Amino acid sequence: MLNKPFQVLTQFTSTDGKATLRDYVSAPGMYPAGRLDYDSEGLVALTDSPALQTRLSNPRWKALKTYFVQI
């Protein structure tokens, strides 16, 4: 689990120099199981299992997710 900071991409690479999860996590083979917008912050699950990442992220599996938003 990682509390993704504001203005960080929910991925480990960037082609335009934006901050990514790699700036906060040094663990090869990890995948984010979910996605938060660049301009948001919050808890992101990380896994080293591609199958689990697909199961949690792919709309085909309809994993229930709850989001709390503060404006």
Domain that holds residue 18: 2-61
> Distances from the Cα of 9 to the Cαs of 6, 61, 64, in angstroms?
9, 24, 23
pLDDT of residue 20: 97
- Domain containing residue 24: CATH number: 3.30.70.580
| 23 counts as catalytic | no
Would residue 35 count as lying in a domain? yes
- Label residue 35 by pLDDT band (50, 70, 90): confident
Quick: pLDDT tens for 42-68.
999 999 999 999 998 888 988 888 888
Would residue 66 count as lying in a domain? no
pLDDT of residue 50: 93
| Catalytic entry in 16, 23, 37, 39 | 37
> Total structural domains in the chain?
1
Distance from C-alpha of 30 to C-alpha of 33, rounded to nearest angstrom = 9
Would residue 70 count as lying in a domain? no
Would residue 68 count as lying in a domain? no
Mean pLDDT of 14-30: 94
pLDDT of residue 40: 92
Residue 27 has pLDDT above 90, yes or no: no
